[in-house]
Structure 1
Amino acid sequence: MADKIDHIVFDIGKVLIHYDPNLPFSRIIPDAEERKWFFQNVCTHDWNLEQDRGRKWEDAEALLIAQYPEREEHIRAFRKYWPEMVSHSYDDSVAIMLGLIDKGHDVTMLTNFAADTFVEARRMYPFLNATRGITVSGEIGLIKPDVAIYERHAKDFGLTPENSIFIDDTMVNVEGARAAGWKAVQFTGAEKLKQDLIAHGIDV
């Protein structure tokens, strides 16, 4: 018989809230080709990920400004206009999560997020305070898909990996959870999520 799921763990970005740096930057750098170059060479995904790992924004900005002094204003704009990047919540996903809590399921969150921007996100989206707790990568210096962050989350919240299911939009993070012994599904939309949870025996 399959293991009974008694813990449900949600990722946040692109599962519960939208994230897109182009939202403010389409105004800041109107030219699409220049904007693409900027994200590929200056404020890159990997650069931003280090803030998720715990690097301070001042240090991150200083590093890039030293390399691209002529881009200082654009580099500082990334943090300055960050709230615009998380423009809305995915209300159908949020409804599923809150519904699970209402039905008595044990729900937590595990996210790659810079510590200070997460404080802002919690103010913007109160449902981020609804679960039993959250592991924020920037607060503990570990990031998905490192197996260590899943192990830390399980330890901190008393989870049994084989009885836990993780929901993330990024396949590599799903695979990280599976490598830690968890069940895990890739989020592609609320309806599919509902089906996946039901398939794992969860009352949605």
Structure 2
Amino acid sequence: MAIKAVVFDFGGVLIDWKREYVYSRLIPDETERRWFLDNVCKMEWVVQQDGGQTIADGTTELIATFPEHEALIRAFYERWHEMLGGVLADGLALVDALDGVHMPLFGLTNWSAETFPYAWERYPVLQRFREVIVSGRVGVVKPDPAIFALMRAEIERHLPGIQPHELVFIDDNLHNAEAATALGWHGVHHTDAAHTEAQLRALGVPI
């Protein structure tokens, strides 16, 4: 069974993004910082904006719940660009290798529609994909099967008749990789480029 397309997640695979890049400066104490990121500006809240809620609404709602942390909450999206550490070299090397064997590449990312343009304009690697689905634009986030259906529909426009077992999906979030596998794709949990490359080769991708 030949692999006919590879789908990349972006954050943690191609783009270095960490909340700590900002909050390590704002909350020097590690225990306090971890509490704040686990309980206030937690990932579940970030995913709401990734799913289409506006930054303004998300910020207002969180401040209403934690008014004592208003300044720290506002800093999240005011300084969001500082959470970007740039392109991950090993992820870029994977894209280069797959490009080198003419593998069709697609992008599927949980990302706010309001912040994604900043990265799109600054990191050319994101523009190397045939189609990119941004969760904040379509109003659904991974691991919801609906967003994978949207991705597959976009892929089929380029590769008519493609089947799930002919697709690889690479994501640093295990739950998202497992969701792809449950749909018949080959979900690859990206922990490092060497491991991902080995899994691609095991699937017959000649890189």
Q: Please report the TM-score for the alignment, with normalisation by the length of structure 1.
A: 0.94
Specify which of 160, 164, 171 is matched with residue 163 of structure 2. 160
Which residue matches 1:184?
187
Which residue matches 1:194?
197
Q: Secondary structure, in 3 states, of the residue corresponding to 2:191? A: coil
Gap regions ≥5 residues in structure 2 = 157-161
Question: How far off its partner does 1:26 sit?
Answer: 0.9
Which residue matches 2:159?
none
Identity over aligned pairs, percent = 39
Amino acid in structure 1 at the alignment position of 2:97: G
Partners of 1:164 and 1:182 within 8 A in 2: yes
Which residue matches 1:122?
120
Distance 2:34 2:12 in 1: 20
Partners of 1:11 and 1:110 within 8 A in 2: yes
Q: Secondary structure, in 3 states, of the residue corresponding to 1:143? A: coil
Amino acid in structure 2 at the alignment position of 1:25: Y
Distance 1:86 1:42 in 2: 20
Gap regions ≥5 residues in structure 1 = none
Q: Which moved more, 1:169-178 or 1:34-43?
A: 34-43
Runs of 4+ in 1 over 6 A off after TM superposition: none
Amino acid in structure 1 at the alignment position of 2:12: K
What are the residue-to-residue correspondences of 1:8-27 with 2, within 5 Å?
A: 8-27=6-25
Distance 1:148 1:197 in 2: 25
Question: How far off its partner does 1:141 sit?
Answer: 0.8
Amino acid in structure 2 at the alignment position of 1:7: A
Q: Which moved more, 1:32-41 or 1:5-14?
A: 32-41
Aligned length: 202
Distance 2:121 2:24 in 1: 25
Partners of 2:131 and 2:154 within 8 A in 1: no
Amino acid in structure 1 at the alignment position of 2:64: A
Determine if the alignment matches structure 1 residue 52 to structure 2 residue 88. no
Q: Which moved more, 1:70-79 or 1:92-101?
A: 92-101
Partners of 2:179 and 2:187 within 8 A in 1: no
